[in-house]
Structure 1
Amino acid sequence: MQESQETHISSHLDEVVAAVSIPPRRIQNKLPQTALFQPPREKLQLCEEKAKSYSSSHHYKEAIQELVRCVALTRICYGDSHWKLAEAHVNLAQGYLQLKGLSLQAKQHTEKAQEVLTSTIELPFNANTDVFRCSVELFHTMGRALIALQKFKEASENLAKAERLSKELLQCGRIIKEEWIEIQGQLKLSLAQLYQGQKKSEEALPHYQEALEYTESSKGEKSLECVPILRELAGVEQALGFHDSCIDHLLQAHLIVLSKHPSQEEAADSAHFVAQAAVKSRRPKHQDMAEQYFQESMAHLKDAGGMGRAKFLLIQDEFCRFLKIIGQEERALSILKESLEAKFGTFGDFSPEVAETYRLLGRADLAQGNHSRAHKKLKKCLQIQTLLYGPQDKRTLATQQTMDVLSKAPEVAGKPRQAQKAKPPFCPIIPQHLVPGKTRANAAD
């Protein structure tokens, strides 16, 4: 029975061979046995440790450099036809995918790993479990790379190979149940992403649910590894109109993030996800929740500088749009007026954010019948839009059209003639808030 099981596993290596597009190379002369235990091997171990350390601390450029060194050192230590070289290529491919999103490079390295495994198969072979593990990782990584490249049929074939091989490893006792569960969590997530990449949310949903169950089982319900799965699952549920479960899963992810001592920006992002989902549900029962998590998100960023300050202002604008939706327009306009000064300092005088704020304030004045104030704000908006987008951009043209209508209003139409009388012989047009000695204290007037 054992022999038949081992034969059945070995037959799957034929799939490795079939997946290789490059003909097998002749086995090169092995390095002397003593060379395997000299300094390159010690350097290899050090590089592997450094790659893990850099990856966990989000130093992705350095992590990739170490993974590249691992490939070179593995070739020195083990030769061109050892399965460990295939493993090194797979690790580098995973690095390109996870750390830099470079799917084409990942695909190329998995193809090199396939070539190495083909050479390995020609060697005397005694059903080495490590080779099978490497094959599972190879097929899985290739599948993920092909998903990113939108080659869905090929991706599905590779993921199916990884799933079958991992199942047979479990059945033959070559891996333990806990390891198989961990592999299943990763494979189910990739399958879900495969369907979601094809915009098949209904097919993706059960795979996301299984991925979450397997990951919670192997890593724990409060593991950070559950967070991206919960967020992707919530995205699918939202697309399918399951807003309550979407919000529940984002709240679950938020609690996990808060329990891991996140940075202020990480905590803000997490709360922001919940707020956005509550807004998109468009249900009155979620309005209070939306405001609560907008406020929480902004509170984490309130005293931040740099990019944190910019993110605060963008989330604040989003909060104002939400307030307008639920009928609190006066409150939204008050916040927008107060935000102008900070936007000048953060984004610059001639920025899309400042232009949009002037546009919203101008439209609000127009809705209230205050044509003069609306004209002032929309004129500033038009100046910025013309500089940023050009006079023929649809945004510029829309503002210009509104200005043309406003210019015919009695309280606006008389002003140019009055201004003309007081105008000196030469007066370059300079935005009022940029005139030397002036401040932006009345920028929103």
Structure 2
Amino acid sequence: MTPAEKLTLCERRAQSLADSEEYDPCIQELVRCLALSRLVYGNEHFAVAQAQSRLAKAYLQYKAEAESSFHKAAIVMGDIVAQEAMGKEDRVDTEYEIFTNLARVYQRQGRPEKALSQCERALELLQEGAQLNRICCVYKNMAAIEQAQGHLDRAIEHLLQVHSIALSQSPGGLEGAQIAHSLALAYSSTSEPHHNDSATRFFEESISAYRSTLGPQDTLTLSAQDDFSHFLLLTGQQERCAEIQRECLAYKKSTFGELSAEVAEALQLIGGVEMTQGQMRHAHRTLKKCLDIQNMLYGPQHKKTKATQRTVDMLSQSPEVGERRKESRLETRPPFCAVISSASEVTSNMSNS
């Protein structure tokens, strides 16, 4: 068997081991692939850089250690580029893999500046071919890195870049919905009042796009509505929060089931708003339904169930709820005339006997 044939066999074996989640043997096969690539192509061929990058990626995914391997791949690529020994498309593909995976390595290591530096190198590389999907991925990675550091304004800048690209490619599409949702969450987490209008705008945009692309019952649509509802609560817009939750309650029952955590949460939000508005009777009824579901899901000793039980007990003591319960007992009591008639029949039967 020639070295080239052995290389093909090793590559297939490595893929098979990765598919079956046998990671250590997979890495061993990728090491052999690298050695055979050097033997078949020579040290300065782009296939060697690709093999080095695949090995590094495996270390990153399976061992969480890959920095030196990616650096070696980058050095090989540098030599190849200097000699103009590979095509532009192959070079961009391989260097993109190296830069983006090095960014992930640095991010895991808690070195955000180095991670961002690799992202910037990837962006510079991608500008040559205007590869918009990859550019969006890099900007999203940069936003995640910045947000993890608490740099929300910088994260928002990167997400706005992605949003602009997404809208130019597919207005109202799923990608735009997801980015608008991310922007809404970023703006809403800044705790700065002047960002509230932007948060509202992007929440509404994302929900509208999710509805049109996926439907009102989809989990992404419902998740965005939940996030918007919590934002509305925090900004004092309780009535609109309850309105959204009432609108999506039927869809939550259809998607998650009548006895689901999602339905219980919706009822809890609605009941909480009703209580703050002084609608004690409605709040008691709504939260009692929530309590029944929580008892089924978590049991009576769970902290969520206990908290709702305390609220229901408190509401039960309110005059409005107490009066309604009294009315309910009167409504179920038989009419006075029916009682008299029944008593008369019994007396008559006793006399005849």
Q: TM-score, normalised by structure 1?
A: 0.65
- 1:21-36 to structure 2, matched below 5 A, reads 28=1
Which of 237, 241, 244 lines up with 1:332 in the alignment? 241
1:127 has 2:42 as partner = yes
State how far apart, in whole Å, the 1-side matches of 2:124 and 2:228 are. Answer: 34
How many Å separate the matches in 2 of 1:332 and 1:127?
64
Q: In structure 2, do the counterparts of structure 1 residues 105 and 169 end up closer, same or farther at CA, with 3 Å as the change threshold?
A: farther
Distance in 2 of aligned mates of 1:144 and 1:126: 21
The CA distance in 2 between the partners of 1:126 and 1:269, in whole Å, is 43
- 2:31 maps to a residue whose letter is Q
**What is the Cα deviation at residue 355 of structure 1?**
0.9
One-letter amino acid matched to 2:28: E
- Summarize the Cα distance change of 1:413–1:268 in structure 2 as closer, same or farther, 3 Å threshold: same
Residues in 1 aligned to 2:20 and 2:170: alpha-carbon distance in whole angstroms: 32
Contact 1:382 1:400 in 2 (8 A): yes
Task: State the AA in 2 paired with 1:139.
Answer: Q
CA contact (8 A) 1:167 1:180 kept: no
Specify whether residues 251 and 341 from structure 1 end up closer, same or farther in structure 2 by C-alpha distance, changes over 3 A only: same
Provide Cα deviations, 1:293-312, integer angstroms capped at 9, x if missing partner.
22221222334566863432
The separation in 2 between residues aligned to 1:135 and 1:393, in whole angstroms, is 57
The match for 2:122 is 211
1:88-133 CA-partner distances (Å, limit 9, x unpaired): 566x48x96xxxxx69456643431322554676x7x67375xx43
Compared CA separation, residues 120 and 373, structure 1 to 2 (3 A): closer
One-letter amino acid matched to 2:148: A
Deviation per residue, 1:332-389 (Å, 9 max, x gap): 2222233323333343322222211110111122223333222111100011111122
> Contact between 1:223 and 1:256, CA under 8 Å: does it hold in 2?
yes
1:236-272 Cα deviation digits (max 9, x unpaired): 1122233233222212112222333378433322321
Indicate yes or no: 2:170 matched with 1:244: no
Identity of aligned residues (%): 32
Structure 1 pair 206–118 and aligned structure 2 pair: CA distance change class (3 A):
closer
Counterpart residue number, 1:139: 52
SS at match of 1:396: helix
Equivalent residues of 2:53, 2:98 under 8 A apart: yes
8 A Cα contact 1:382 1:399, kept in partner: yes
1:311 to 200, 208, 220: 220
Structure showing the higher helix proportion among its residues: 2
Q: Which of 316, 335, 351 is the equivalent residue of 2:260?
A: 351
Identify which of 25, 28, 38 aligns with 1:111: 28
User: Which has the larger displacement, 263-272 or 413-422?
Assistant: 413-422
Instruction: After superposition, give the CA deviation of every residue in 1:135-176 in whole Å (9 maximum; x if it has no partner).
Output: 322322232233233x33x31222122122222223344336
8 A contact 1:182–1:215 mirrored in 2: no
Q: How big is the alpha-carbon RMSD for the aligned residues of Structure 1 and Structure 2?
A: 3.3
Q: How far, CA to CA, are the matches of 2:287 and 2:146 in structure 1?
A: 40
Mark the CA change 1:405 to 1:295 in structure 2 (over 3 Å): closer, same or farther. same
1:138-157 to 2 correspondences below 5 Å: 138-149=51-62, 151-152=63-64, 154-157=65-68
The one-letter amino acid of 1:335's match is: I
Q: In the comparison of the two structures, how many residue pairs are matched?
A: 334
CA contact under 8 A between 2:166 and 2:176: conserved in structure 1? yes
Structure 1, unaligned runs of 5 or more: 1-27, 31-74, 97-101, 425-445
Query: 1:290 and 2:290 equivalent?
Result: no
C-alpha spacing 1:184/1:115, structure 2 compared with 1 (3 Å): closer
Write the deviation string for residues 177-211 of structure 1: whole angstroms up to 9, x where unpaired.
77545533321211111122234434422222222
**Quick one: distance in 2 between partners of 1:109 and 1:246?**
37
Q: C-alpha separation between the residues in 2 aligned to 1:260 and 1:110?
A: 39
Query: Which of 143, 158, 162 matches 1:253?
Result: 162
1:392 paired to 2:335 = no
Counterpart selection for 2:109 from 198, 206, 215: 198
Indicate the SS of the match to 2:259: coil
1:158 partnered with 2:75: no
1:127 partner letter: G
1:390-437, CA deviations, whole angstroms, 9 ceiling, x for partnerless residues? Answer: 22222212211222333333333455565456658xxxxxxxxxxxxx
What TM-score does the superposition give when structure 2 sets the normalisation length?
A: 0.80
The aligned amino acid for 1:109 is C
CA contact (8 A) 1:85 1:113 kept: no
Asked whether the 8 Å contact 2:27–2:58 carries over to 1, the reply is no
CA distance in 2, matches of 1:206, 1:159: 15
What residue is the counterpart of 2:346 in the other structure? none
CA distance 1:115–1:142, change in 2 (3 Å): closer
Alignment of 1:60-71 (within 5 A): none
State how far apart, in whole Å, the 2-side matches of 1:199 and 1:248 are. Answer: 22
> Cα gap change, 1:108/1:262 in structure 2, threshold over 3 Å: closer, same or farther?
farther
The residue aligned with 1:412 is: 321
Mapped contact 1:147–1:155 kept (Cα < 8 A): yes
**Secondary structure in 1 matching 2:66:** helix
Larger radius of gyration: 2
Runs of at least 4 residues off by over 6 Å: none
